[in-house]
Amino acid sequence: MTDIDVEPVEQIDDEAVPVGVEAPDYVLYGGKGGVGKTTMAAATGLASARDGTATLVVSTDPAHSLSDTLDTEIPSDPTKIREEIPLYAVEIDPENAFGDNPLGVEDSLGPLSELLGDDMADPFGAAMPGTDEAAAMRLLLQYLDDERFDRVVIDTAPTGHTLRLLELPDVMESMIGRLIAFREKMSGMMGSVSGMFGGDDEQMEEEIGDMRELSRRIERLRAVLQDPTKTDFRVVLVPEELSVMESERLLTQLAEFGIPVGTIVVNRVMEDLADVADVDADWFVSPDLEHCEFCKRRWDVQQKALQRSQELFRGHDVKRVPLFADEVRGEEFLKVVAACLD
């Protein structure tokens, strides 16, 4: 085997690095697990904060790698991680954040739980999406109103988790509707009802009030996610057939939710850095498509996937990020990725 001499990226010309980004208030990176969503979110957050925009990068993936990508410890609460620019980051740990009460509503629904049926007896358990998505949704609701941040960049969990997160408002609205309808029905009955079910009418009123407030906040979040002037859901894929197929399904399902997708990022493309970004590429190791049989075969696989992707790309802003010889980690590498996304 021939050794490849790879020079580390120590620094790049700052003029090649975007200062600020053209993006709405909320940028969500989604796609199949392992395609590089964390890298894209970290690079976007870094570029966003460079023009003074207070930017929060959020990881909702239970298998966190944001700390590794940014090469710094990321706590479970939003924390400023760069002194010179307003860059904040947080890694959500759903299991520890809220335990069995991921949405912050009272654990027990009192007398209501007995009358809601088996599927609603544990409204925050099996009848709802996973607790990691529920916790992420609660925190997104919180960050929506956080005046510290002008932009929020979200590294979502892999595709299946993301879709359950986006499904949560529908589930919550259905549950809240049933609770409200039940309470209103009960309110027209005799005062002895609360005693019949061992509950307290005032407690019911308080619980329903909490639910209505949560419903209003979820409706607001849905409106933000569906507004292309506020949100851009960016799909990340690698040029492989399975990733393309997964991305096609994701686009279809996002369209069903009315979530706008403005950008598609094709990561780990076997081409020269100079072809996708105006960056000094003296240190970049390009794949040897002439002499390396492995490189040639991988490039054939990528070309077939890219050809299949043409319909997928239609109507979207397509960004390409090359395959790097080194692991993409640390600020200098993220600057290069940001230049590719610019």
CA angle at residue 169 from 29 to 44, to 5 degrees?
15
- Residue 206 within a domain: yes
Q: What is the b/e burial string over 228-249, where b = at least 16 CB atoms within 10 angstroms of the residue's CB?
A: eeebbbbbbbbbbeebbebbbe
Q: How far apart are CA 239 and CA 331, in angstroms?
A: 25
- Residue 3 within a domain: no
- Residue 10 within a domain: no
Q: How far apart are CA 181 and CA 187, in angstroms?
A: 10
Q: How far apart are CA 34 and CA 121, in angstroms?
A: 36
pLDDT tens across the length of the chain (342 residues): 334 343 444 555 555 566 778 888 999 998 888 899 999 999 999 999 999 999 999 987 666 688 889 888 888 889 999 989 999 999 876 566 555 555 555 444 444 444 444 444 444 444 444 555 556 666 777 787 788 999 999 887 666 666 666 676 677 667 767 777 776 776 665 454 455 555 556 776 777 677 777 777 777 878 888 899 998 899 999 999 999 999 999 898 888 888 889 999 999 999 988 888 887 767 788 888 889 999 999 999 999 999 989 888 988 999 999 999 888 888 888 989 999 998
**And the tokens for 242?**
């399975």
Range of the domain at 247: 17-341
- Residue 9 within a domain: no
- Residue 249 within a domain: yes
- Residue 8 within a domain: no
Q: Are 87 and 149 in contact (CB under 8 A)?
A: no
- Residue 216 within a domain: yes
Strand residue runs (E) in the chain: 26-30, 55-59, 79-80, 87-91, 151-155, 231-237, 263-269, 317-322
Nearest to 35 by CA among 157, 140, 154: 157
- Residue 207 within a domain: yes
Q: How far apart are CA 305 and CA 242, in angstroms?
A: 9
The number of distinct structural domains making up the chain is: 1
| CATH code (residue 199) | 3.40.50.300
Nearest to 72 by CA among 63, 62, 82: 82
- 35-to-26, 248, 262, 314 alpha-carbon distances in Å: 20, 15, 18, 20
Q: Are 214 and 105 in contact (CB under 8 A)?
A: yes
**And the tokens for 133?**
């998505």
Adjacent-strand bridge partners of 59? 91, 155
